[in-house]
Amino acid sequence: MPTVTMTVNGQQVSRDVEPRTLLVQFLREELGLTGTHVGCDTSQCGACVVHVDGTSVKACTALAMQADGSEVTTIEGLANNGELHPMQAAFKEHHGLQCGFCTPGMVMSAVDLLKRNPDPDEDTIRHWLEGNICRCTGYHNIVKAIQHAAKEMRG
């Protein structure tokens, strides 16, 4: 079995994996990072979004081996020393989550959006979230949370 090595949430990890192991399986099953969720089998729900080298990626579509040598950030690695990232804080403040299952993917995806566009309007946010399904919130408060996080992060 080949060995993959990557930095996950700031820590270097190395594991022998079967070549067909998906990144999301690697994170959940090998590393026990179960904050990254699996909501579908067709790469459409976005529950599995993590950052690979700073960019949002659906971890169910990437093989663990493709992330060899990369920096991976999962929802567990987003808060800084126990302090919520402004995006996490905004989701809480604006009730952007209910059951919480889509939430890690939503938050990771939204963080990437603001990196690309620090001041997105509502349409831009809704369009960006096209790849993240939430069955609970109707998206209203998710959009609101992202708008507020953007404002907060622009300072």
Partner 1 sequence: MPDSGVSRVLRKEDQRFLTGRGHYTDDLNRPGQLHAVFVRSEMAHATVKSVSTDAAKQAPGVVAVFTGQDMADDGVGSLPCGWVVTDKHGEAHKAPPHFPLVRDKVRYVGDHVAVVIAETRAQAADAAELVEVDYEGLDANADPAKALEGAPQIHDEAPGNLCFDWELGDKAAVDEAFSKAHHVSRLELRNNRLIPNALEPRAAIGEYDPGTDEYTLYSTSQNPHLLRLILCAFVLNLPEHKVRIVAPDVGGGFGSKIYCYAEETVCTWASKKLNGKPVKWTAERSESFSSDAHGRDHVTHAELALDENGKFLALKVDTIANLGAYLSSFATAVPTYLYGTLLAGQYKTPAVHCNVRAVFTNTAPVDAYRGAGRPEATYVVERMVERAARDMNMDPAEIRRRNFVQPDEFPYQTPVALTYDSGQYEKALDEALAMIDYKNFGQRRQESERNGKLRGIGLSAYIEACGIAPSQVVGALGAGVGLWESAQVRFNATGSISVFTGSHSHGQGHETTFAQLVADRFGVPVENVDVVHGDTGRIPMGMGTYGSRSLAVGGSAIVRACDKVIEKGKKIAAHLLEASVDDIEFDSGNFRVAGTDKQKSIGEIAFTAYVPHNYPEGVEPGLDETAFYDPANFTYPAGVHIAEVEIDPETGTTRIADWVAVDDFGKVINPMIVEGQVHGGIAQGIGQALLEEGVYDEAGQLVTGSYQDYCMPRADDLPSYRVGMIETPCPHNPVGAKGCGEAGAIAAPPALMNAITDALGTEEISMPATREKVWRIARGRLAQAAE
Enumerate binding residues for partner 1 (CB under 8 A). 20, 28, 33-42, 44-45, 47, 74-76, 78-79, 84, 88, 91-93, 95, 97-104, 107, 122-123, 125-127, 129-130, 132-143
66 binds ligand FES (CB under 6 A): no
Q: What is the rounded CA–CA span in Å between residue 133 and residue 131?
A: 7
Beta carbon of residue 155, minimum distance to ligand FES (angstroms, whole number):
28
- When binding is defined by CB under 6 A, the residue of 35, 46, 86, 120 that contacts ligand FES is 46
Q: What is the rounded CA–CA span in Å between residue 72 and residue 62?
A: 12
- Taking each helix axis from N to C end, the angle separating 86-93 and 140-154, rounded to the nearest 10 degrees, works out to 140
For the chain, strand residue ranges (E) read 3-8, 11-16, 49-52, 55-58, 71-73
Beta carbon of residue 98, minimum distance to partner 1 (angstroms, whole number):
4
Q: What is the rounded CA–CA span in Å between residue 45 and residue 6?
A: 25
140 contacts which partner out of partner 1, ligand FES, none, CB within 5 to 8 A by kind? partner 1
Residues 140 and 46: beta-carbon distance below 8 Å: no
Beta carbon of residue 154, minimum distance to ligand FES (angstroms, whole number):
26
Question: 100 or 118: whose CB is closer to partner 1?
Answer: 100
> Which residues from 96-155 bind ligand FES, rule CB under 6 A?
97-103, 134-137
Residue among 71, 53, 52, 73 nearest 61 (CA): 52
Return residues touching ligand FES (CB under 6 A): 38-40, 43-48, 58, 60, 97-103, 134-137
